[in-house]
Amino acid sequence: MVVPRVFISSTYYDLRHVRNAINEFIEFIGFQPVLSEQFDVFYEHGKSAQKSCLDEIKKCDMYILIIGTRYGTTFPNDSLSITHREYREAVQAKLPIFAFVDKYVYDDYRIYCQNKNNLDVESSKIKYSNVREIEVFQFISEVENRETDNALICFDQISEIKDYLRKQLAKMFKEKALQPLVEIEEVAEIDMEEYQNFVNNVNIVGIPSIKISDIQNNDSFLELLKSRADSIDDLGTDIRISIGGSIVNIGKEIISLLSEQYQQMKGGD
C-alpha cells in the first residue's frame, strides 16, 4: 500500500525527543515518517551521503521543519547546515512545508531583529538566553520572509505540533477529497449530446476521440489540437496534423466549422 512519506528535518541532539514524538505521531496517522537516524534514507551506491539525503526529500510528499537552539553541522564544502540545506531542497521540490520553531528560540529571534540594525549596539556582544549561533536567526528569517508557504509556528509543548499537524492535514485532505466533486460539476456543464456529435465529427476527419477533460482544459479547438498533436503544419488551404504517428490533412474550412461547434459546446458565442 502506498502511503504519504513525510520527511522530518531538524538538528538531532537538541531536538531528538521532538523527532521521536513526531515520528510516532506520523506513524499513528498511517503515514510513513522519514528520518535519517531511523535509516529511512536510501544511501545509493555511487552517491555521497549528503546527496542521497537530499534526493530522499524529492521522493517524499511532505516536509516538516523543526528549528531549535542549534544551527547544526554543515555539509562538506557548504556554508549551510544540513537542516538548512534540506529545507531549501524541500522548497525547490515544492513540497508542502510545515515549519515549527521553539518558542524560546523565537523570543531570542525577536531581540535579534530589534537590535541587528541598531548602531548603538554591538550585535556580536549580545547574549541570548537560548541561542548561541546567529545563523539560527538567519534561518528563521529566511523561512518567514518567503513570499509563500512562510508560516512558522511557535511551540512550547510537543502536543502543540501534533495538534497543528492534525488540523492542517485534515484540511488538506478535505480539499483533495472535494476535487472530484468539482470535476463532476464541470463535466455536467457540457451537453452530452453536443459532445457526442462533436466527437463523431472529429472521428470522421481522422482525429482520435477527444475526452471531456480535453475540452475543459483548452479554450479553443486549435489550442486542443496543439496540445494533442505531435506537429501541425500549414499547407495553405489545408492543415497537416500528426497525432500518435498518424497524419491527416484537414481543410481549413472544416477546421473552422469544428471550431464553431467546439465553442458552442463550451457555451461560447
Query: Cα–Cα distance between 117 and 33 in angstroms, integer?
Result: 40
Q: pLDDT 10s per residue in the chain (269 long)?
A: 468 899 999 999 899 999 999 999 999 988 999 987 766 566 665 666 677 778 889 889 999 999 999 999 887 888 999 999 999 999 999 999 999 999 999 999 999 998 887 777 777 778 899 998 999 999 999 999 998 889 999 999 999 999 999 999 888 877 765 555 444 444 446 677 787 888 888 877 777 767 777 787 788 888 888 887 778 888 888 888 887 667 888 888 888 888 888 888 877 55
Write down the pLDDT at residue 47: 60
Please report which helix (H) or strand (E) contains residue 152, including its range: strand 152-155
Its domain, for residue 131, covers: 5-182
CB 136 within 8 A of CB 67: yes
> Do residue 141 and residue 258 come from a single domain?
no
> Do residue 145 and residue 210 come from a single domain?
no
> Do residue 145 and residue 199 come from a single domain?
no
| Residue at 209 is within a domain | yes
Write down the pLDDT at residue 18: 96
* End residue of a domain, out of 126, 161, 182: 182
> Do residue 95 and residue 227 come from a single domain?
no
Query: Cα–Cα distance between 68 and 254 in angstroms, integer?
Result: 66
CB 125 within 8 A of CB 133: no
> Do residue 151 and residue 235 come from a single domain?
no
Q: How many domains does the chain have?
A: 2
- Residues with Cβ within 8 Å of 50's Cβ and at least 6 positions away in sequence, in order, are 75, 76, 82, 85
> Do residue 89 and residue 196 come from a single domain?
no
Residue type, 169: L
* End residue of a domain, out of 154, 182, 210: 182
- Residues with Cβ within 8 Å of 177's Cβ and at least 6 positions away in sequence, in order, are none
* End residue of a domain, out of 182, 211, 241: 182
What is the distance of C-alpha 240 from the center of its chain?
39
Which is nearest to 168 in space by CA: 63, 88, 54? 63
**Complete DSSP assignment for 51-115:** HHHHHHHHT-SEEEEEE-S----B-TT-SSBHHHHHHHHHHHTT--EEEEEEHHHHHHHHHHHHH
| Residue at 108 is within a domain | yes
> Do residue 211 and residue 78 come from a single domain?
no
> Do residue 161 and residue 73 come from a single domain?
yes
Query: Cα–Cα distance between 212 and 217 in angstroms, integer?
Result: 9
Write down the pLDDT at residue 41: 65
| Residue at 187 is within a domain | no
Q: Which 3 state secondary structure label does DSSP give 247?
A: strand
